[in-house]
Amino acid sequence: MSGIVSFFDSLVQFTADNSDRLLRLFGEHIVLAIETLVIALPIAIVLGIAISYNERAATVVLWIASVLLTIPSIAFFGMLVPILGIGTPPVIVALVAYSQLPVIRNTYLGVTGVDPAAVEAGTGLGMTRFERLWRVRLPVALPVVMAGVRNAVVLLVGLAAIGAFIGGPGLGFFIFYGINQGNTAMIVVATVAVSVLALAFDYLFAVTERGLRLRNGEDLEPTYTTRLFDAIRTQFQ
Amino acid sequence: MIQFDNVHKQYSDGTQAVNGLSFEVEEGTTTVLVGPSGCGKTTTMQLVNRLEEPTEGTVYYDGTDIQELPATELRRQIGYVIQDIGLFDHMTIAENVATVPELKGWDDDRTDERVDELLDLMGLPPEEYRESYPGELSGGQQQRVGVARALAAGPDVMLMDEPFGALDPITRENLQDEFLDIQEEIETTIIFVTHDINEALKMGDKIAMMNDGELVQYDTPAAMLEAPATKFVEDFIGPDRTLKQLRVLQVSEIMRTEVPDEHRDVVDAFDPADTVMADGGELIPVTPTDSAQVALSRCIQAGVRALPVVEDATVIGVVTEEDIRGYHADEIEATSE
């Protein structure tokens, strides 16, 4: 019993002693995730839309994206070092690659899953291909895309920690340093911080997804958070 | 308005959907394309808004070869209603109806006004339905929105592909009746596709009956019932052709304004406040726009040989069973001559 208590003590002690470094690394981790998303999302969404017009391309692209996801992360980071050096660039490239599959797949499923009757009506009423995409397919697909973004972001926040292996930014530094130093408290605190961050991102996008579904007229049981979200939104209107 | 000139359509898999079609849809009329599944009626309709392109022959829109008209521009001039309705579920009812005005770049005030006007016309009070989503509406209400959306930009032509086919019989009947009223107001040229001969007889000014991609007969409902061009048309109409004839015959065409003495009793029995006859049978009068079939049915129901014809709560004449039978006898004579 006293062992557990002293272990918790050591965690609190470590957090208190290193709060400024922890915060800095936490901040780096967030920035890294956002940078990755800013690059990854446009690529994945455009690809997801593009392959919705060609079934064969869809098979190939989704297959490549799945294969990318099977590469062990340490190996992937390692392979990028000779090309991009160490530090942030190779980490971002690898994370962008890893986040493609969920977003491409969901974008593709979202835009192809639109009721064919709605698409036919859109065409018959004189929408161009772009207007059908912009006014019908994409708005309907957006909540599905957002679900893919949630998957991707949880994945990439976790994998970003491994990026410290090649000198990337973020909380992974404490994990690898803790392993080297045999400092369990350091490892545990950094790991918990990574999990909290992943859950926070997941929650943020879950709320966005719900908001989009409600905006699309889907019949959802409102949660307290979405009520708050709606209340804030109406305040700004 | 719409003219088909020797139009053929063959799909890439070799199916000949339309085979040498030539006929003209007159402006301001409702033309019903009717026939069994796979007869090419939907393809024919889709040739008009270029959802399908002919492999041979020409379709003219107001005298212009439609191949020379840009497809999206053409489609925005043509209302389109389909059986599966195809409302945009993520948009409100108002946004759905505003689709074509928005594509055409109308200003917001004009669009809003038009949306309210159409929702009113379709019996969906705007204040109640504007902000609703399609998922909250019944099938019948959704198709009303579908029709409103197609009418939004005041199209010259409406294409309706089995628009009421997926609705329950009562809703279908109501929507047919309402649409007939609306059609008189809007004076749009309508091409209406159905496989239901009763719907065709009810909705059409002209009926184009198709089979195997060919036009079998193009006539008014009355003329088609009177003289089916082929055995196929006769079979498609069914064994109760004479009763169907009575359905397209309006009371106004056979009523007598001079009430014969022998039928004085039914007229006297009519009391705007009470429709029960002295002998206990229920007597429901007919209006001039009711069909002869309704009149005959009510004669049989009430056990009488004539019914008062009532308009605005006044008797304007009588329709007799004898005249209904006689109308048909005249025709038999006319055909045998």
Short-list A101, A94, A80, CA closest to A35: A94
Find all residues with CB under 8 Å of B315, minimum gap 6, and list them.
B267, B270, B285, B308, B309
Q: What percent of chain B is modeled with pLDDT above 90?
A: 63
CB atoms within 10 A of CB B140: 17
- Distance between CA atoms of residues A223 and A55, nearest Å: 38
Three-state DSSP class for B81?
Answer: strand
Residue A7: pLDDT above 90? Answer: no
- Summarize pLDDT for A127-180 with one digit per residue, the tens: 999 999 999 999 999 999 999 999 999 999 999 999 999 989 999 999 999 999
Residue A48: pLDDT above 90? Answer: yes
Give the best residue of A125, A215, A219 to mutate against chain B (max B CB count within 10 A).
A125
Question: What value does the mean pLDDT take over residues A81-106?
Answer: 94
Question: What value does the mean pLDDT take over residues B111-126?
Answer: 94
Give the best residue of B46, B88, B193 to mutate against chain A (max A CB count within 10 A).
B88
Question: What value does the mean pLDDT take over residues B69-74?
Answer: 93
Q: Which of A142-156, B1-15, B49-63, B288-302 shows the lowest per-residue confidence on average (mean pLDDT)?
A: B288-302
Find all residues with CB under 8 Å of B148, minimum gap 6, and list them.
B97, B115, B118, B119, B121, B122, B124
pLDDT of residue B281: 56
Three-state DSSP class for A20?
Answer: helix
pLDDT of residue B333: 60
Question: What value does the mean pLDDT take over residues A201-217?
Answer: 89
CATH 3.90.1280 domain locations along chain B:
251-336
- Distance between CA atoms of residues B208 and B219, nearest Å: 7
Contact B99 A125 (CB under 8 A): yes
pLDDT of residue A150: 94
CA distance A51 to chain B (A): 23
Residue B30: pLDDT above 70? Answer: yes
Going from the C-alpha of A234 to that of each of A226, A231, B81, B131, the distances in angstroms are 12, 5, 35, 16
Question: What value does the mean pLDDT take over residues A176-204?
Answer: 94
Topology, domain B251-336: CBS domain Like (3.90.1280)
Residues in chain A: 237
- Distance between CA atoms of residues B100 and B77, nearest Å: 9
CATH match of B2-239 with 3.40.50.300: yes
pLDDT of residue A222: 66
- Distance between CA atoms of residues B77 and B72, nearest Å: 9
Contact B80 A121 (CB under 8 A): yes
pLDDT of residue B337: 44
Residue B190: pLDDT above 80? Answer: yes
Contact A124 B51 (CB under 8 A): yes
To the nearest whole number, what is the mean pLDDT of chain B? 89
Question: What value does the mean pLDDT take over residues B96-124?
Answer: 94
Question: What value does the mean pLDDT take over residues B111-121?
Answer: 95
Q: Which residues of A touch B51 (CB under 8 A)?
A: 120, 123-124
pLDDT of residue B277: 47
Q: Which of B66-75, B209-218, B258-267, B294-303 shows the lowest per-residue confidence on average (mean pLDDT)?
A: B258-267
pLDDT of residue B273: 62
Q: Which residues of B touch A214 (CB under 8 A)?
A: none
Question: What value does the mean pLDDT take over residues B216-228?
Answer: 92
Residue B146: pLDDT above 70? Answer: yes
Q: How confident is the model at residue B158 (pLDDT cuts 50, 70, 90)?
A: very high
Residue B279: pLDDT above 60? Answer: no
pLDDT of residue A226: 64
Residue B66: pLDDT above 80? Answer: yes
Question: What value does the mean pLDDT take over residues A183-187?
Answer: 92
pLDDT of residue A115: 93
Short-list A214, A209, A211, A169, CA closest to A190: A169
Q: How confident is the model at residue B332 (pLDDT cuts 50, 70, 90)?
A: low
To the nearest whole number, what is the mean pLDDT of chain A? 91
What amino acid occupies position A192?
Answer: V
- Distance between CA atoms of residues B207 and B194, nearest Å: 10
CA distance B94 to chain A (A): 13
DSSP state at residue A79: H
Give the best residue of B90, B92, B133 to mutate against chain A (max A CB count within 10 A).
B90
pLDDT of residue B278: 44
Query: What structural domains and CATH numbers belong to chain A?
Result: 21-236 (1.10.3720.10)
Contact B287, B308 (CB under 8 A): no
Helix intervals (H) in A85-182: 88-98, 100-112, 116-124, 129-131, 138-162, 172-181
Q: Which residue has the tokens 């014809």?
A: B309
pLDDT of residue A2: 73
CB atoms within 10 A of CB A206: 16
Contact B291, B246 (CB under 8 A): yes
How large is the ipTM? 0.82
Residue B285: pLDDT above 90? Answer: no
CB atoms within 10 A of CB B273: 5
Residue B89: pLDDT above 70? Answer: yes
Q: What percent of chain A is modeled with pLDDT above 70?
A: 97
Question: What value does the mean pLDDT take over residues B111-137?
Answer: 94
CATH 3.40.50.300 domain locations along chain B:
2-239
